[in-house]
Structure 1
Amino acid sequence: MEAEDTSDDQVGSQDEYEIALAEGIDDEALLDAGDTRKFSITSYGADYSVEVLIRRMKSGSFTVPEFQRRFVWSQRHASKFIESLLMGLPVPGIFLYKELGTNKHLVIDGQQRLRSLVAFHDGTFGERKFRLLGIREPWNEKSYKDLDPSDQLKIDDAIIHATIFQQDEPADVLDSIYFVFERINSGGIRLSPQEIRNCITSGPFNSAVRELNKSEAWRRIFGSPENKRAKDQELIVRFFAMHESASTYTRPMATFLNEYTAKANKHSDNHIKSLMSLFIDTTNLIDIALNGRAFRPARTFNAAVFDGVMTGLAARLTKGPPPAPDAVSAAYDLLLADQNFRKAWVRATADEESVKARLRLGAEAFNGL
């Protein structure tokens, strides 16, 4: 029996996130025990000088995708890494994914090191001057420009090993990258599925989701401020995936959202704009009609209720002028009182039949308004 599909409207800690995760915001692990998918992946090693790494970071051929994990090293931590290069010590390698078609490389592991190198070479650490702190003489308190020419050359010529991989087959599904990223980043605070999704499938759709996540109505519905683990963004992705591709849904939910995101990033600008308008219109109406009680049949935000209501009301809005808020509120209450709908959001929420049932019932609830 699967847990109730809920998530806290305000998640402020890792423990709370893991509880919400277990309760079903992501429905189940990406890799089911019976999953037998196989991938054709090419990987190889390459040694880059620091000078080349800095140049490629600045040119954008090596990119750190936009997602929640920011640059977190302190200046002292970065200084210790630079000191290791000056001392000629071996340093950990980096992990890159090579995009087919563009030949650009996504930094899957190593962004702290690469950003430290760029910052030291540029001479700035945030708004401060980058001077090496807490290291041995003769380098302590020196910037890159203050170093002797021989030490500058030693850093520029230092070699960092990179492991580069690309997925050959299947060409249009990036789950292998998801698995690699999840395993490499399994230490410390576990990344949420949407954080990983933002990293490995960056594009115009992801940018649109981040923009929509700031909309006032959505923030009132989900809660403010923006969720640190990107659960609010994932719900937006989930709405679009259910709205456009529900007929192709199969579990696990995370794979379904991965595949949809990869396809949605190839949508035309006009298509993405129309999706954005639909989300805004739907959330604006729900915000007015339900006044803070949307998607919370109990205390917590329920992702399965969100599926049925959002897709049902959005489908109705595509057919004509919006219904009156009072009519939406009444239809919402009747839907939540429906025992068949309740079964579809309480148990086995990721099963295909449960998903189909709540989307069908949600559409029926608002279709006649």
Structure 2
Amino acid sequence: MDRFIESLLLGYPVPGIFLVKQSSDNRMLVLDGQQRLITLQSFYEGLHAGREFRLTNVGDDFQGLTYKTLDEAQRFQLDDSFLQATILQTDGSPQVDEAIYQIFERLNSGGTQLTAHEIRVALYSGPLVDFIEQLNQTDAWRDLFGKASARIRDHELILRTVALYLDADKYSKPLKGFLNGFSKENRTNPPRVQAAGLLFKRACDLILREAGPSAFKNTHTNQLNIAQVEAILVATMRRLETDPEIRELSDKVANIMAHQGFINATTRFTADVDAVAERLRIAHEIMDS
């Protein structure tokens, strides 16, 4: 952050930013350059992370300066700095959305590397993302998953579960593309997604009550296998459509986790169409038995 401000004070060229103009509401989303913009905002306000933003990792001429202590020439240099912005216009088509997603991935080479889902949340922000976050805060889910993921992997797992519950018959590789398409199609959080969300909450409540907070965890590593959790939740949600109280649920979850075919489909090539179909089939058959 210090070096970026120093570059502007020295009049050096700096990388531009990329913005996406949303076709639905004309909002500008920051595709690349968020850290640069936040750095500028923080320096002008004089605060970063609750402390005074004072330049330290810079040359002697700028050591210890804040925006308020810049002399007139330095302040003019900073205020008159040029930051180029490239604006990408979306038309709502899948082809353009996929192109923007790929541009984001290619630009995402410096600073903190974003995960596929972090990019997805940025590009498809709206009611669906907010609804998934509400589900992510429910008590039973937090007990089953554990502490919140700093990289929102828990949020992504819920999206995967809801998407496969509703559209498993449409699944195709890559998983990233499937989830992007689902997020775009259901961005407004339609009633079918809301209904699936209620089933997700009921499934978590029931699994926690009957099988306990360690229901999904490997007995040897105490870790969660995302593909296993997703399949068991989908199978439980499907069973709850017709059976509000699933008998012997704890045994069924254990039997699913121990099934060799299920293990194979959740530990190797887990995004393959056949692997996804196989683990969902096995989990559903055991849950329905």
TM-score for both structures, normalised by structure 1: 0.68
Which of 246, 252, 264 aligns to 2:174? It is 252
* Residues 162 and 197 in structure 2, CA contact (< 8 A), matched pair in contact too: no
Higher RCO, 1 or 2 (CA under 8 Å, sep at least 6)? Answer: 1
Between stretches 274-283 and 106-115, larger displacement belongs to 274-283
Alignment partner of 1:165: what SS?
strand
Question: Structure 2: how far apart are the matches of 1:113 and 1:338?
Answer: 50
Deviation at 1:277, TM superposition (A): 2.4
Deviation at 1:114, TM superposition (A): 0.8
Which of 60, 65, 79 aligns to 1:156? It is 79
Which of 202, 209, 225 aligns to 1:302? It is 225
Deviations 1:239-290 (A, max 9, x none): 011011111111111111111122232224x555434322221112112222
Which of 248, 254, 278 aligns to 2:199? It is 278
Deviations 1:205-245 (A, max 9, x none): 22232333333322332232x22333222211110110111
CA RMSD in angstroms comes to 2.8
* Residues 173 and 273 in structure 2, CA contact (< 8 A), matched pair in contact too: yes
5 Å-filtered alignment, 1:1-369, equals 77-78=1-2, 80-133=3-56, 135=58, 140-168=63-91, 170-171=93-94, 174-187=97-110, 190-224=113-147, 226-268=148-190, 273-291=194-212, 292-294=214-216, 296=218, 299=221, 300-324=223-247, 327-367=248-288
* Residues 97 and 105 in structure 1, CA contact (< 8 A), matched pair in contact too: yes
1:133–1:188 distance in 2 versus 1, CA, 3 Å: closer
Query: What is the identity, as a one-letter code, of the residue corresponding to 1:122?
Result: E
Richer in helix (by share):
2
Match of 1:61 in 2: none
Identity of aligned residues (%): 36
Question: Structure 1: how far apart are the matches of 2:95 and 2:66?
Answer: 45
Deviation at 1:159, TM superposition (A): 0.8
Richer in strand (by share):
1
Question: Where does structure 2 lack aligned partners over 5 or more consecutive residues?
Answer: none
* Residues 307 and 358 in structure 1, CA contact (< 8 A), matched pair in contact too: no
Deviations 1:116-147 (A, max 9, x none): 21122223223233344454576544433443
Question: Where does structure 1 lack aligned partners over 5 or more consecutive residues?
Answer: 1-76
TM-score for both structures, normalised by structure 2: 0.85
Question: Structure 1: how far apart are the matches of 2:60 and 2:114?
Answer: 38
Alignment partner of 2:166: what SS?
helix
Number of corresponding residues: 287
Deviation at 1:151, TM superposition (A): 3.8
